[in-house]
Amino acid sequence: MSGDLVMYHTFAVPAFMFAAGIALSFFGSRLVPFALVICALVLGFLHGGSFLLQFTDNADVIRFGPIILAVLLAVLVSFLYRIAFFLAGFFIGFFALSALFPDLALIYTGALALAAGALVYVSRNFVFSVLTALMGAGLTATGAVNLLAWVNVSAGITTYWSIVVIMFIAGTVYQIKRRRRGK
């Protein structure tokens, strides 16, 4: 897929991938919630009209409905983003406790599962720091290798993976340290 994108524009696409990869590697845990809201706004605005056309042909609804739908989707995504972490921790904690301690009373299993949900919710920034650093490292490496190809410099798989590893480690460390400093 990235090869198809690069062929669209052999300089602009790799340059964008390189810049987006660096941004994700170093600032991804802060960018993800914002990006989710932006994607929800775009989705609601772009596809809201055709969705609403299935229910009505009122011109005012078709004109203003996508804007309202976009805002509703953005609010929903923002809420679901937060609740999903808690629920994931709760369900994983509940089933892990049930499997490991089958004789544990349901009240204790539930209480510990609530604690697990809270722990996952609280540590979501760490999880996003690691995941966005990994995704950003891949984008950076893909962009860099394609930019090198654009200037007729050959870069093999070793170069690609070296960039991935360096960017992943640097991005993860930076994001975690930045969180600890409270910035």
Query: What is the per-residue pLDDT across 74-128, written as a single tens digit (0 to 9) for each?
Result: 999 988 988 988 888 898 888 888 877 888 899 999 999 999 889 888 888 887 7
Distances (CA, A) of 32 to 25, 41, 70, 173: 11, 14, 18, 18
pLDDT number for residue 121 = 86
pLDDT of residue 24: 84
In angstroms, the CA 135 to CA 21 distance is: 7
Please state the separation of Cα 110 from the chain's center in Å: 29
pLDDT of residue 1: 44
Q: How many CB atoms lie within 10 A of CB 67?
A: 13
**pLDDT value at position 182?**
65
Residue type, 131: L
What average pLDDT is seen over the chain?
85
For residue 130, what are the domain limits?
2-181
Q: How confident is the model at residue 175 (pLDDT cuts 50, 70, 90)?
A: very high
- For the chain, what is the domain count? 1
